[in-house]
Amino acid sequence: MSSQGQNTGRRPELRHDPVANRWVIFSPARAKRPSDFKSKSPENSNPGDNSSCPFCIGNEHECAPEIFRVPSDPNWKLRVIENLYPALSRNIEGPCEEKEDMGVPARAIGGFGFHDVVIENPVHSVHLCDMEARDIGQVLLAYKKRIQQIASVESIKYVQVFKNHGASAGASMSHSHSQLLALPIIPSAVSARFEGMNEYFKKTGKCSLCEVQAKELLIDESTHFISIVPFAATYPFEMWIIPRAHSSHFHEFDCDKMVELGGLLKLMLRKMSLQLNNPPFNFMIQTSPLQIVPQLSGAGGFEMGSGCYINPVFPEDAAKVLREVNLPVAG
């Protein structure tokens, strides 16, 4: 890793994120070098006795009901199951009724929704970044299939795909898995993102994601996708994977593109692990961009109170550190 860090004379800067429609403060005085910004609590692999893990092959009877598996035989490669401890209930019947008579100026609706788990691999010790690109592509295709199934439910307004890797990133199970949460509402942050992108389009006639061209923000690229650190990254070393061609929905990608996306995702996870000491991380599929956030710093009172985040690493410096890892795009 290069020992060259940030320019010590660099001034703080505020950048506006046209996608999330919010400001981010970049304060280089709060960090030493980007290359020193490593996780202090790296995630270990999954060693030891896994006989009691319900996600391992052979322990299917210990899990919540299965939705589907790939392939559909005992030697599965991935399974999609109901979450045993769901945030919302799929068993609430009828439409969600809105309540406004609670004596407070607020609204409430019934907690209907879907909360599913995608078990990405039958083997306990295998992480997503250890898998072949084609197998990661199958995981992405499982997301697509489940999103399309849920989309037929009229009262569902939004589906979030996400992965928590590591306890400090929110993972309660060490076996590699990800989740889908389908809601009867559109979350405020998602609405703000749509509004921000719509406002940018009205002003410029262009898509704010398609306009990302700066080479200093580029990490790597494939035929149909690029990976970048966004211009106004909320978090240190935050990464986005964006399709080259305009695409409004993740579930529009075909099988070949999902495999290609899987290869670039694998590459980003490996780069992050090598350069940042295998940090806990989250990834989220935000309609079309796939967002990866290593857990390197926490939100303080200012961030929680203002909604304005302080990032100690300029995006172009983070992108440079990640570019320095010379790994091939997985095929």
Pick out the residues of the known binding site for Zn(2+).
53, 56, 124, 175
Amino acid at 3: S
Residues within the annotated binding site? 53, 56, 124, 175
Tell me phi and psi for residue 262, to 5 degrees: -60, -40
From 115, 127, 165, 177, active-site residue: 177
Tell me phi and psi for residue 167, to 5 degrees: -60, -40
Q: Give the long-range contacts of residues 41-48, CB within 8 A, separation 24 or more.
A: 41/168, 41/279, 41/280, 42/277, 42/278, 42/279, 43/165, 43/166, 43/278, 43/279, 43/280, 45/125, 45/127, 46/124, 46/125, 46/127, 46/174, 46/175, 46/176, 47/125
Cβ contact 277:328 at 8 Å? no
Coil, helix or strand for 105? coil
* Token pair in block for residue 17: 């994120």
Cβ contact 63:55 at 8 Å? yes
177 is catalytic: yes
Catalytic (active-site) positions: 177
